[in-house]
Structure 1
Amino acid sequence: MSNAVGEIELQILWNRLLSVVEEQAQTLVRTAFSTAAREAGDISAGVFDMRGRMLAQAVTGTPGHINSMARSVVHFLDAFPAATLKDGDILITNDPWKGTGHLFDLTVVTPIFLDGTPVALFACTTHVVDIGGLGVSADGRQIYHEGLYIPLMYLARQGTMNEDLLGMVRANVREPVQVVGDIYALVACNETGGRRLVEMMREFRLADLDHLGEEIISRSRRAMADAISKLPQGSWSASMTIDGYEAPVTLAATLTIAGDRILVDYTGTSGLSRYAINCPLCYTEAYTSFGVKAAIAPWIPNNTGTLDAVVVTAPENTIVNAPHPAAVYARSIMGHMMPDVVYGCLDQALPDTVPAEGTSSLWNLSLLAGHGLTGTEGSATRAFNVTTFHSGGAGARPRQDGLSATPFPSGVRNVPVEITEAITPLVVWRKEYRKGSGGAGRHRGGLGQRMEIANRDEAAFGIQARFERGVYPARGRSGGGAGALGRLSLGTGSDLKTKGLQVIPAGDRLVVEMPGGGGYGDPFARDPLLVARDVRYGLIDAQQAEADYGVVLTATGEPDPAATAQRRAAR
């Protein structure tokens, strides 16, 4: 068999490799037990060469999982050198500093053999519903509070599953069927990818992936170098303040474009939190790299060659470079804000390129009930534990409105309310756009959502809140207005905190008002017809149209040209 390939064959093999990893990912989605993977697509999947370099990733998945998993395979090879691996071996970890940032993400790596020789590694990750400890809580003070810590280890040896490990998992989690089911889904995911890869290699008579992998990585690296070389050279700094837990958090970055690399340094960022909102550097790096690439070269394939073009540094013991044993469960709060900070820098270097700030951190509803958590009724309380994925509005873009109820940068899907209602006693009484929550601008920020949730059992239930933009809103850009703040409350009117375990009393409702994204550009420069359309669609009201946009509407809902011109001139 030959390793050399021509230009046309190279393109065919690349496209085939993409189909392999996408089928790998879809296997995980189709076989997973938890809603995080099945409904939200909170996963990652990819193929690696025997040096641990990611060659291709599935489109299905999140940047935080994909880009941190891309670096994690090297840790597995350090612990288990390629020469020691056998056909049928499977490796696993949820080490936050060697995986994807917190204990709830399981990463599984499987070596693939062709005629007895290891030729590739497949890796995949998913967020499981529970891993023990405090559960889906930002209240932990150390990693030891947060659940079962699985070091780099064998999940299977030569095809025999590690039943001791699976027994430990079952004994430590609240949802053993779901979690162990997801572990087997991860195994199936890599098996599917490996089987398809071997079929491809036999069809094209490839003995290994060395030449193909080198071409993929080197071409991607050259493409990134070319894109970066066309940018202005220099350094720019930006910062933002977000809610934090016990105190507000400052996220500060300096972005330097130097030759064929982009350097991002987080010196000036706040120190560690006492709570579980700290972020390991691997997760900071993942979302920083994604933010940079999405802005400057989204068309280039994402692999090791691409990721090597962005160098991320942060002082240790800051909230974006938390060392062991810091609590890190809610690390996504910080990680999802990284693109907004990066874009604050890039906006100075590349005006009219990046969006305004958005909700960014997800407003996932982790809802639960059970003895000791929401009451003392014991077996009289129907216990459940579910996370349903939702989001506020995204920031407006230089030439378009922001997307409403859309997660950026994570990209996970919202979970249909019917799924949550089918597997728990919860009922979602209301789910709608939150009128007026998008920041005003020439391009309007995306709207958040309003949801109202109750327990059909007429029993108390709880929410593990870990939300941002409740105190500091998403800022507009280039004169755009800020998005609306998020808010948690009871149906009876009392406010709830945006972090920590909150209990909703029996018979009451949880009201969730998600933040809006920032606007872009002068609101008085927005086309009056678009403002009138927003009023007609129920996205804003007539009072906001006049106050924020200077657009006066007639009784029929059309812009009044004379009154609008007068109102805008009077500003």
Structure 2
Amino acid sequence: MTQWDAATLQIVWQRLISVADEMAAVLLRTAFSSVVRESNDLACAVLTARGDLLVEYGRSVPVFTGTVAGTVRAMVAELGEHNLRPGDVIATNSPRYGNTHLPDLTAATPVFRDGRIVAYVASICHLSDIGGTSEGAFAQDAFEEGFCLPPVKLVEAGVPNALVRRILAANVRVPAQVLGDVDALIAANALGERRVTALLDSDAGLDLDEAAAHICDATERAVRASIAEIPDGHYAASIDLDGFEEPKTIVVSVEVHGDSMTVDYEGTSRQSTFGINSASPTFGYTRYGLACLLAPELPNNEGALRPIAIRVPEGSLLNPRTNAAVSANFPAHAIPSVLSRALADVLPDRVSAAAGTPFWVVGIRGEKETGPFASLLCFNGGQGAARGQAGYATLSTPSNVSNTPVEIVESQAPVLVESKSIVRGSGGEGAWRGGDGQEVALVSRHDAPLDVIFLTERIEHAAPGLAGGGDGAPGVLRVDGGDVAEPKGRIRWAPGSRILMRTPGGGGYGAR
């Protein structure tokens, strides 16, 4: 029996975090896709035997660790816990089971001890391609967006599922890259399973359920104490976004009552016809936004959500009906900003102005002599400023996806990076300035037209400042000098043609 004093709790907690960190190191080193290796579009976590989040890799994309527990629980419910065996790896990319969108694949491995499941390790990464429109926002239902894999066993009792691999490979443009990423997820989980087993072997008295209870209870107490410091009341805000077929607005109201809180998105725009809707990312980014405001110093786990109720109207942009297109769920990235706006008066030292972008995505696809290729490139706008902190230039917020390096851009696709520079002064003015965006010029060096998909935000609606700070500069997207008519759309990129991107600046904080 473990004696749970503060030192013991901290040691066990940090050892579990190190498991997730080591899993991520494996995933980063073995993934085939540049969006994983270079842009950090991944997450790793250890979950309890019930599928509750226990610890996460510290640089995980926040939305993933906000959704992974629900996805793992849904997969286990679908497949049946009694059907799981040592050596199994289960996976899905389906939003119906709480996954973010089709390009992201969630894989989980049960950890067995004495014949029973004592934990799960899970990892998520963004695949290079998933068929269909893949990254495109212009699909009008889930069936257009790509290949949907319901919960399956990727590996069964240590043996890879050859049929699942054949079906997946037959539905994507770059099967070698996609299967390479699948194998990277499997490898990360295998290491996680070994590390959890070794932790238990090193301490015969350690009960993971007991450890999880202490860890999550500590987080819950800290979050409740933080909420209790906020005066009871109703706090509301809204934020405008470019949308697709029409502008969209996210509306939030926060009710604080004692040491608990209710977050309600009633009034948010109706769901889109196109793929900018958000399902599970709504909950993931609500969780992350509140973690930053309430207990930013604590590692994330299930205890953080116990004092918080989240309500999202069905049929809205943030909770679309089943089979709605969700691949380009950029609106969810604005949730932490709107939560900051709502709580700015009561948490002035913790809120921040809106970011210029989560990140802009350019998907480039085509054919070379060696076969088809698909490349995803990420370019960030400026971070929003906060009290005492100017926003950083070209830093993705709230998603921590990194800019794609020039060398990777040019090695992944027949593209020349003609120029790349920070747009000085594009961050919003204020006592603390918003972060600047960047300007990137790309020239096609292919001998045939390329298929290019854009995912952008804040071209029509700049990132708003906070507490008297100024708005950031809006983004610009041009091809051969002309504005792109649909900046969340698709073009045929002619040989020698030039794309110019100017990502938005972040909002400033405080009046000068």
Q: TM-score range with shorter-chain normalisation?
A: over 0.9
Equivalents in 1 of 2:317, 2:298: separation in Å? 30
Q: Match of 2:319, SS?
A: coil
The 3-state SS of whatever aligns with 1:364 is strand
The residue identity in structure 2 corresponding to 1:466 is L
Cα displacement string for residues 428-453 of structure 1 (whole angstroms, at most 9, x for unaligned residues):
11111012211111211110000000
Equivalence map 1:324-339=2 (5 Å): 324-331=322-329, 333-339=330-336
User: In the alignment, does 2:399 pair up with 1:410?
Assistant: yes
Residues 496-523 of structure 1: CA distance to partner in whole angstroms, max 9, x if unpaired? 531100233222210001111111222x
CA separation in 1, counterparts of 2:84 and 2:447? Answer: 54
Rounded to whole Å, the distance in 1 between the matches of 2:383 and 2:120 is 36
Summarize the alignment of residues 470-485 of structure 1 with structure 2, pairs less than 5 Å apart: 470-485=459-474
For the aligned residue pairs, the C-alpha RMSD in angstroms reads 1.8
The answer to whether residue 353 in structure 2 is matched with residue 356 in structure 1 is: yes
- List aligned pairs for 1:79-94, cutoff 5 A: 79-94=78-93
Secondary structure of 1:25's aligned partner: helix
Paired with 1:14 and 1:264, the residues of 2 have a C-alpha distance of: 29
Please state how far the C-alpha of 1:207 moved relative to its aligned partner: 5.9
**Displacement after TM superposition at 1:262 (Å):** 2.2
What one-letter code is carried by the residue in structure 2 that aligns with 1:230? E
- What does 1:329-408 correspond to in 2, within 5 Å? 329-331=327-329, 333-370=330-367, 383-408=372-397
Q: Which residue does the alignment assign to 1:287?
A: 285
Structure 2 CA distance, aligned partners of 1:346 and 1:360?
21
- Which runs of structure 1 show a deviation greater than 6 angstroms over 4 or more consecutive aligned residues? 379-382
Structure 2 residue aligned with 1:33 = 32
CA distance in 2, matches of 1:222, 1:368: 49
- Aligned equivalent of 2:306: 308
CA deviation profile, 1:524-570 (whole Å, cap 9, x unmatched): x3xxxxxxxxxxxxxxxxxxxxxxxxxxxxxxxxxxxxxxxxxxxxx
Question: What is the aligned partner in structure 1 of residue 415 from structure 2?
Answer: 426
Whether the 8 Å CA contact 1:488–1:496 is kept in 2: the answer is no
Pair 1:145-2:144 in alignment? yes
Paired residue for 2:67? 68
Aligned equivalents of 2:308, 2:38: Cα separation in 1: 31
Distance in 1 between residues matched to 2:7 and 2:358, nearest whole Å: 42
Task: Tell me if the contact between 2:23 and 2:189 (Cα under 8 Å) persists in the aligned partners.
Answer: yes
Q: What does residue 10 of structure 1 align with?
A: 9
Partners of 1:68 and 1:359 in 2: how far apart? 24
Using the alignment, how far apart are the partners of 1:17 and 1:272 within structure 2? Answer: 39
- Matched residue, 2:239: 240
Q: 1:444 maps to which residue? A: 433
Aligned to 2:296: 298
Instruction: Give the TM-score taking structure 1 as reference length.
Output: 0.86
Letter in structure 1 aligned against 2:226:
A
The structure-2 alpha-carbon separation of the partners of 1:159 and 1:269, relative to structure 1 and needing over 3 Å to count, comes to same
- Mapping 1:98-137, distance limit 5 Å: 98-137=97-136
> Following TM superposition, by how much is the alpha carbon of 1:84 offset from its aligned partner in structure 2, in angstroms?
3.2
The structure, 1 or 2, with the larger RCO (C-alpha pairs under 8 Å, 6+ apart) is 2
**Does 1:461 find its partner at 2:459?**
no
Cα displacement string for residues 137-186 of structure 1 (whole angstroms, at most 9, x for unaligned residues) = 11101100011111112112211211111000110000101111111111
Instruction: Quote the offset at 1:307 in angstroms.
Output: 2.5
> Residue 289 of structure 1: CA displacement?
1.2
Query: Do structure 1's residue 179 and structure 2's residue 178 form an aligned pair?
Result: yes
Q: Distance in 2 between matches of 1:518 and 1:6?
A: 44
Cα distance in 2, alignment partners of residues 160 and 427 from structure 1: 43
CA gap of 1:21–1:504, structure 2 versus 1, over 3 A, is same
CA, structure 1 residues 108+227, in 2 after alignment: closer, same or farther (shift >3 Å)? same
The amino acid across from 2:326 in the alignment is: V
Partner secondary structure for residue 356 of structure 2: coil
Residue 6 of structure 1: how far off its partner (Å): 4.6
Q: Which structure has the larger Rg?
A: 1
Inter-partner Cα distance in structure 1 for 2:479 and 2:297: 45
Residue 499 of structure 1 aligns to a residue in which SS?
coil
What is the SS of the residue equivalent to 1:97? helix
Q: 1:7 to 1:481 in 2, by over 3 A?
A: closer
Amino acid at match of 1:303: N
User: Relative to structure 1, is the Cα distance of residues 521 and 5 closer, same or farther in structure 2, using a 3 angstrom cutoff?
Assistant: closer
Partner Cα distance (1:384, 1:118) in 2: 40
2-structure distance, mates of 1:82, 1:275: 36
Of 475, 492, 508, 1:503 maps to 492
Name the SS for the 1:463 alignment partner: strand
Kindly provide the CA deviation profile for residues 395-430 of structure 1, in whole angstroms up to 9, marking residues without a partner as x: 111112111100010011212110121122111111
Opposite residue 133 of structure 1, the aligned amino acid is G
Q: Which residue number corresponds to residue 225 of structure 1?
A: 224
Say if 1:300 and 1:306, in contact at 8 Å, map to a contact too.
no
Secondary structure (helix, strand or coil) at the match of 1:444 reads: coil
Name the CA distance, whole Å, in 2 between partners of 1:493 and 1:266: 37
Structure 2 Cα separation of the partners of residues 354 and 265 of structure 1? 19
Match of 2:505 among 491, 508, 516: 516
C-alpha deviation, 1:385, in angstroms: 1.5
Q: CA deviation at 1:391?
A: 0.6
Separation in 1, partners of 2:3, 2:89: 30
CA distance in 1, matches of 2:505, 2:323: 34
Separation in 2, partners of 1:483, 1:382: 42
Could you tell me how far apart the structure 2 residues matched to 1:382 and 1:492 are?
31
Q: Percent identity?
A: 36
State the aligned residue count.
512
- Mapped pair 1:188 → 2:184: no
Query: Unpaired segments of 5 or more residues in structure 2?
Result: none
Uncovered stretches (5+) of structure 1, i.e. residues with no partner: 371-378, 526-571
**Alpha-carbon distance in structure 1 between the residues aligned to 2:233 and 2:163:** 54
User: How much does 1:134 deviate?
Assistant: 1.6
User: Whole-Å Cα distance in 2 between the matches of residues 125 and 20 of structure 1?
Assistant: 15
The offset of 1:7, in angstroms, is 4.1
Counterpart in 1 of 2:267?
268
Contact map agreement 1:483 1:515 (CA 8 A) in 2: yes
Show CA shifts across 1:187-210 (max 9, x none): 111110110111111111146412
What is aligned with 1:562? none
Alignment of 1:149-160 (within 5 A): 149-160=148-159
CA distance in 1: counterparts of 2:441 and 2:349, whole angstroms: 38
Alpha-carbon separation, structure 2, partners of 1:139 and 1:214: 44
Aligned mates of 2:169, 2:25 — CA distance in 1: 25
